[in-house]
Homo-oligomer: A and B are copies of this chain.
């Protein structure tokens, strides 16, 4: 991770402030230590060895992933104690079996009796057990068996009683914290999820079953309540970077955000008062397609000053020629002169009133930045999944003369 000036980077690129990543990771480690729960960081946000090392404190143990490709990727790099937290897809049972036979501890997740049947049909070699987490829906409303349904307890019992299978834990994702605004709302959802999970654990105990419990989501784990101390584990992931969405939810401050999208202005249309940037909608957010609206309503689309502390993830396609950087953007002057908003303190320029125009033909290159950096083994990058999020760093080193002209 060589440090280079941003201006030499090929755009669009995802830039990661590694100091902030370390700070975010360390803060979560300390929160969990204080609470006495095990931290099982989720890898889906970054899918890189580098961040995984930072999040696990170098142990390369106790992680959670959302795809089998991620599981294989991290297993190939010496990681173990991996939980594949995705409703068991029946077409991937064989690959899960192979990982279970290969790793010290590979764990799957399910929420339906049919899935358990699939595991029973494929007993593991060498007397190994399938390590199974039961996915509980505690109000999130996506995957999982509803915590209050009698079927949930029955399924847990079936798992516990099945030959060749072990009920390792009960897993709930409080993704509904993403609808929250502010710490109080987040903690209310987290409390409910924790209570429902612990109530279910109580039912299990009465039925003579003991296993682990885990809840997670970055908002809830960023502001853990004391009740969460009764859980075995938590599994947040996004906190490693945070993003604008998280700052709006209240998970973090804007200063905690460790990632930015670097994009160049590649066109200027004075007659439309528009800039064209070399970053497509997946790199920014589909909402940014209507940036005029979004920037005003939820503050996406900021432009930030460059920082020496920013460590760059490069596109796989190699180094580029250096471009001229006039610094005009940094002062914000051209845009101000052009009748656009004043630059607030701490920001180099503010795009609230700049109607961004995203050229979709280079879309998703942002994801390639980190993929290239990370050996190209992982198929999905969450930049595309977590929409409406990343702050944009636009460097107007291309059309600075033009902009100056416009302002005369």
Contacts and interface: CB of A to CB of B under 8 A. Distances in A.
A94 interface: yes
**Number of copies of this protein chain within its complex:** 2
Contact of A69 (B87, B94, B317): B317
Contacts of A364: 364, 367, 379-381, 384-385
A146 interface: yes
Interface string A366-408: 0110010000100111001101000000000111011000000
A380 B363 contact: yes
Interface string A12-52: 00000000000000000000000000000000100000000
B385 A384 contact: no
A385 B323 contact: no
A316 interface: yes
A64 to B, nearest CB: 11
A335 to B, nearest CB: 18
A199 interface: no
A316 B399 CA distance: 40
A101 to B, nearest CB: 15
Interface in A331-367: 357, 359-365, 367
A108 B90 CA distance: 48
A362 B86 contact: yes
A114 B400 CA distance: 10
Given A362-B66, A368-B380, A264 B317 contact: no
A402 B264 contact: no
A68 B11 CA distance: 12
A119 interface: no
Interface stretch (A156-164, A208-216, A252-260, A265-273): A265-273
Band of interface residues on A: 35 or more
Interface string A74-100: 000000000000111111111100000
Contacts of A268: 112
Given A146-B271, A266-B87, A387-B286, A361 B44 contact: yes
Given A94-B320, A363-B384, A267 B111 contact: yes
A376 B317 CA distance: 13
A361 B276 contact: no
A309 interface: no
Ranked nearest first, the 5 interchain pairs of A and B with the lowest CB-CB distance are A66-B361, A94-B321, A368-B379, A91-B320, A363-B385
9 contacts: A11-B89, A87-B267, A90-B397, A92-B320, A112-B268, A114-B401, A146-B269, A281-B387, A317-B379
Interface of A: 9-11, 44, 66-69, 72, 86-95, 111-112, 114, 137, 141-143, 146, 149, 264, 266-269, 271-272, 276, 278, 280-282, 286, 315-318, 320-321, 323-324, 357, 359-365, 367-368, 371, 376, 379-381, 384-385, 387, 397-399, 401-402
